[in-house]
Structure 1
Amino acid sequence: MTEQSIVSQDMTLKRLFQDFYRVPDYQREYVWGESDPKGDGGDQVNQFLADIHTEYEGATQHFAPEYFIGTIVVCAGQDQVFELIDGQQRTTTSYLTLCAIRDALRELGGNLPDDLSSQIAASSTDWQGVTTHRFRLEVQYDDAGGVLAEYAQGNAAQTVRDGSRSIRNLGGAYDTIREFLTTTFGTDRAALLRFYGYLTNKVKVIRIETPTITKALKIFETINDRGAGLDAMDLLKNLLFMNAKGHEFAELKSVWKSLTDEIYAVGEKPLRFLRYYLLATFDLDNRLREDAIYDWFQKNPGLTGHTTEPLAFAKRLQAAAKAYAHFAKGKNAAGSPEPGIENTRLLGGQSIKQHFMLLLAGRHLPAPLFSRLAAEIEKIMFVWLITGTPGKDYERKLVDAAHRLRTVSQDNFDGFVDDVFAKERAELARSFFRSLKELRANDLRQFRLRYLIAKITQYVDLQAYGSSDSRDRLMDYTSGGNDIEHILADNADADAQQEFGDRAQDQEVIQSLGNLLLIEKSINRSISNTRYSEKIKGYGQSKFLLTRCQADTQAQLVGVADQITRTVQALECWPNWTVTDVEARQLFLTRLACRVWDVPVVEEAVPA
């Protein structure tokens, strides 16, 4: 092969595995066996085998249709081993399938086909006459832990399944293949042999062989530049290696692995991180889609420096990934607990992460200002969610704020907060007040309702008693040890209904925010569904001041001007419980919520 030649060959799996391959250590790991329920790796392995089997079933005694599984890109090494640059998922799955078929045939008894054994491992002799026994496929990335060799040696039963992502995925893929073979062929050894014969003789690939790694990487980019089989994160990695110097490969590989490990470790999606990083770092609008990210990189090398200094760019991305992973755990960029971020996670659940863009843009701020930023984000996110602000609208606002925040310093931070957060809350105050005054429990997801009631309860405690380890953590209020109590129970007993009066079974009343409070689970069990006049005895035993004051504030007064007394005097209480009281308490909680989330009170917007 001349220096510039590229050789393309159409070949069967039998021919493919007459040569030796290695997956270089800088390539992405095996993902088709992904066991994470959010992944689709197991489905990909099943689909791969099912598609082949469908074609196999169309075979007759004299004819069998061929089945094409795709293209692989390789570069010949000095040791007669091909570097596998593209097509690792298909090649590795095919190799694992051969190993699984061999193991299944061994369990069924009888001799193995000579071809099968040689497709898994063989010897090669170099020009100096040195013979080396090796497996047909070797993976070099560190977290594979040598497990592919264990499957190749026939040690599947003893091979570990727990460990790194690659170890889990390879194990998951092997187990999926064995299950497919068992389900499809049972103990019919002859049928399994026929399937093996079809697999190795009629399943085909196109192998593209290049003279250099750089040329192989460029062909990889050409094949995948529209995301066929790979996403922008994989393509970006390839782009960085394509522009890196040879001596940078090892460090670049380490940096890239570190940044992706950070994201995977917290169950996040690398592509979402990459999109949020770009929106936080460059002047892009939120119309940038994940499937357009790679095209953006190709068009903007001057902004990122990924072509001239790929390693430096990767290190910046790594630092951002580390901060992003901390945010996902409710911490600040340095890894310290951050109440505003933790609370926003309790509010937003697992799906709402757009505010991470603003956190990424503000991670340069001193710790006190970053804490204020996190608290402001929590408040505005709650206002947006309660008022039903569409996600695309508040994402756009977050992107605009992130662009401004990149240049914000200590001197102009207060102005930024006023312009971005306080102004937005003021504009939504009318809608916020109305939404809370009309709120019913079934208007919100359970975790968000728990956040709302817990946050108000925590606020009253902090006003009265000040900061402490237990009161500072909202999670201590939202935890499973506490319940959301329906003051008028959904299945109230006859005495409770009689005492409440009209509409005692009206769901609009029962599910009203005014009819809900936070109480310890142990107390809630003891008061059951009895009448209000009995329940309030249990409320008085709660550690939460707002709950203790539900029916009587006088008992909680301590002095004349102390902090607890001032807080209690600002609360309202309800010695009796009727429809009118439910409505009055809902109005009280709505006004209180405006103080909690720093929203101006606009009562005149609410019809009488």
Structure 2
Amino acid sequence: MRAQEITFLKLVQGDKQFQVPLYQRTYSWGREQLQRLWEDVGELVEQHLAGETAAPHFLGSVVLAPGQIQAGGVQRWLVVDGQQRLTTLMLAFAALRDHLKETGDERGVDRVHRQILVNEFHEGADHYRLLPTQADREAFTACVQSRADAGGGDNIGAAYRFFRGALAEGHETGEERWTATVETVLKDLLSIVEITAESGDNVYRIFESINNTGVGLSQSDLLRNYVFMLLPKRGERIYQELWLPMQQSLGPKNLELLVWLDLVVRGHYKTKQSEIYREQQKRLQPLAGDEDALQREIEQLAERAGRFRRIVDPAREQSPALRAVLERLASWGGQTHYPLALHLLDLVASGRTTSEDAAQALGYVESYLVRRLICQTPTTGLNRIFMEAPKELETDRPAAEAVRRFLSGRRRRWPSDEELREAIRTKPFYWSGRPPQRSYILRRLEESYGASEPVDFAKASLSVEHVLPQRPAPAWFDLLAEETEPNQTPQELHDLLVHTLGNLTLTGDNAKLSNHPFERKQQILDSSALRMNLEISSAQRWGKAEILERADRLSERAVKLWPGPIGGVKPAGEESPGWAELRAALVAMPSGTWTTYGDVAELIGSHPVAVGAYLGANPTVIGAYRVLTAEGKISPAFRWADGDDRPPPQELLTSEGVRFDSWGRAHRSQRLTAAELATLLGKDVSQQVSHDPLPEGEDSAAAERFRSQLQEHWPDAYPGVLAALDFWRRQGGYVSYGRYEETSCFPMLDTGTSRGPHLLWPVGIYPVSGTVEVVFQYLKSRTPFDDTQQRRELLNRLNKIDGIDLPEAKLELRPSFPVSVFAQHSEGICEVLDWFVGVAALDLARRG
């Protein structure tokens, strides 16, 4: 085998084709891996635009084996390892080519297509530079050919849509040369080690050996080995007295994090965690031969380790003011604030500021994070802001003032009081951030009431409750009907209100509250120890007026709890973050789907009329034609931009796979709701914990509630559902139930090994609303259904049953079918369940 470092452009140029063998799994990169790659690309783009020398970013290796060469054909290479990287970059270039087309750069379109994506003078399969596994081939070639169905619901389509969105967002904020620089970076500044096998090598054995390697040394291991190599005389003593205690107190992960933070607070804020060893080695190299200086470096790192432990475990902090704010940030979660927090503790330790000043500074950090989450400000670049802070803070001011001034910078997007109040009234807070962060904000608001006997939140088992329920009974809609606007249904008003902060509280009684009428909820909330719940229980009714009035009261508390930026006014002419989120959502939509003006309005905290006006004024927004009326019709006001020669919207949607009836209404199964749009954007839109499966073991009381609800609401389906659940048990599964009043049901399977449980469930059954959710969203993170082909097979088998029509575009979501299908097709459902168990059993045998 031979190896050489090469750019992506040089790797793929020429009449060649990279074939992914059938024994390799389908494309599996998700949003997290794509985001990480795009951040690396973004940094190189910024360096290039700033005129800095940008070193190539190392992506990893690609192992190739020569394939057959036919006369006059292309040189074929089997991709033994590295198919995920190759496929990802090809999809990035397909998205770049289509982005260039949107911007009118026809020469750029032609250049990218010919240089990267295709073998121009070859036809058929030889035309493509990359040929994925057969399961991915159709989705991949749709992207390369720029077909209408490009960007479907599988992982290939999701990656293509991710890059379309990232390029559109960057183009809006970047300078004139931005797109051209992205092309340069992708072609010439992404470094790959090309390893080529010889003819006759056992390709599968090479693949096995590459994917069964042991655990390599961490960055901190490499640094430790290097440092102590430079300490031949004092090494053993320094290791015992300084390094080993630090290593034992922090643990491997936190030690590596500390070594990275040590670089960041020194001003090396562009250093990636994968480059810690190289950067620290470069910094320490001049000290080789000076054991005194090296000992001082390790002493400083050990001292910094002590400060870092107080950030991770605030109970160790002696200052009450600092301990309180560090505890709040620890409750908030994440590591975003670590660089700035460590820098502030360094300042306190050196006597350059006081504990109280540092605590006030970290209070501004909390405010910045909370306000951005409530206002749903995009998190892009947030980590970098905090990594830059130690170097960028003004040193001639108190630390708190310097931090507030730094975070108030225009490009750092600290929402004003005005923006905060508006977001609390309109934004779907329940989809903001992570569940612990939502609970944290509600907890802090509750604490602001200053109760004489405050709740012990550490011991209380509280969760977020919707006062106006997510699945309301008819009585709630009767109440909402009194407050609807012209042409607005009670359901549409419900959707705009239900997830806003004014409708949310904390309670330990979710199961009791459920979708009861407000009078019953009042009785339960009236006995709550939380002041905010007593306030709700004193209301006479609970509709739009009450929710907005409570939102305004909470806004005043939030403004006082979390102070805003210096100036405190939204900059004139600055676009609302909601419009950026709208554009991102439309790009994220898989081909073959549509949504409504109301769904988009619910997602971004706006109004359907405002959404329509924005899209009418900006017809070039990618995917604008996919937004239809509540009936599923093309809006009469929709117009393409002047000079746009695309076919009429209905014709274009039909070519993508959307079905229309004779009245011009799009098929309801292909509509994406606001919750589904939010899921595609990576928001946490999972059902409440009590809707999801409980631990193993069937609860008899819950089972009885499920059966009685099913019998009452869907008596025809009752025998078929119970027969399918009995069949599931005979196959080795068990049945779990939710805790809410509508007692959901989950057929569960544990295919775990000695290493731990491995839970799978194909559907969730809801006996009151009468829906059966197919949980692709969960299955895509669990073997073997993390393979797109297996989820597609599940979808296809279900769709053979009359009454089930699941769109392939929802392979990463939770589409549903009516529970009434069980009335006539229970046997067909059982056949699908039998197949599901069989696939899971084969996966268990493979995992051993």
What TM-score do you get using the length of structure 2 for normalisation? Answer: 0.36
TM-score normalised to the size of structure 1? 0.49
